[in-house]
Amino acid sequence: MIRILLVDDQPLIRAGFRALLDAEDDMTVVGEAADGAAGVTLAREHRPDVALVDAQMPVVDGIEATRRIAADPDLSRVHVVMLTNYGFDEYVFAALRAGACGFLVKDSEPADLIAAVRVAARGDALLSPSITRKLISEFVSRPPEARASVGMDVLTRREREVVALVARGLSNDEIATHMVISPTTAKTHVSRAMVKLRARDRAQLVVFAYEAGLVTPRRS
């Protein structure tokens, strides 16, 4: 059973999401919060598998709530999905750096919401190639001094190559094909890179890769 926490200051949004999620045989909503501070408290109380967190909320916003959840070792298995009102906004990049595994537009189709929760519960990142391109564009638009430096010297040459492919939106199977290795080996390289860089998931690997200059963004 996938246990879900809803954190959003709009009661109608929470009610709609709860109705959709509770209708699934393998999902249950274990708590609701109307602000980020209450959301963090409930995350610590219920230890959900997935937390759907609104970006803009009173008291404590979604970015800070995500950061607090990600920083708590006891909540390492909580996968945060940031809820946004637009396909891509200024909160997304900050959310991924804070520890979110991806993001979901609030007006997504019901089937997309259900699928997103299942993807997040598996520990995968909610970053399609199109979203990755938008993430890159946001990164490129930032002045150089605003970009944090991430050292890749802890990675082997093979691991750096894998991280670069992750940053381009490739799945483990696609990485395996590209590098002519087995999917299991590709997954192992990705996992080791995440451990060495202390990245919670593939989404953060994408951010780290571009911040470190491991991948050169393409300008249009």
Each residue's pLDDT tens digit, 95-111: 777 888 878 888 888 99
Q: Above 60 in pLDDT, residue 45?
A: yes
Other Cβ atoms within 10 Å of 48 Cβ, number: 25
Specify the pLDDT at position 200: 73
Q: Above 90 in pLDDT, residue 112?
A: no
Specify the pLDDT at position 100: 87
Q: What percentage of the chain reaches a pLDDT higher than 70?
A: 83
Other Cβ atoms within 10 Å of 220 Cβ, number: 5
- What is d(CA 47, CA 45) in angstroms, rounded to the nearest whole number? 6
Specify the length of the chain in residues.
220
Q: How confident is the model at residue 178 (pLDDT cuts 50, 70, 90)?
A: very high
Specify the pLDDT at position 136: 57
Specify the pLDDT at position 60: 94
104, β-bridge pairs: 83
Q: How confident is the model at residue 142 (pLDDT cuts 50, 70, 90)?
A: low
Indicate the residue type of 133: R
Q: Average pLDDT of 198-202?
A: 77
pTM of the complete model beyond 0.95: no
Q: Average pLDDT of 202-211?
A: 78
- What is d(CA 55, CA 211) in angstroms, rounded to the nearest whole number? 23
Each residue's pLDDT tens digit, 148-170: 455 678 899 999 999 989 887 78
Average pLDDT of the chain, as a whole number: 84
Each residue's pLDDT tens digit, 68-98: 999 999 998 999 998 887 655 567 777 777 8
Specify the pLDDT at position 181: 94
Tokens 């803009």 label which residue?
56
* DSSP line for 44-74: HHH--SEEEEESS-SSS-HHHHHHHHHH-GG
Domains of the chain by start residue, with CATH:
2-126 (3.40.50.2300), 146-212 (1.10.10.10)
- Phi first, then psi: what are they for 5, rounded to 5°? -115, 130
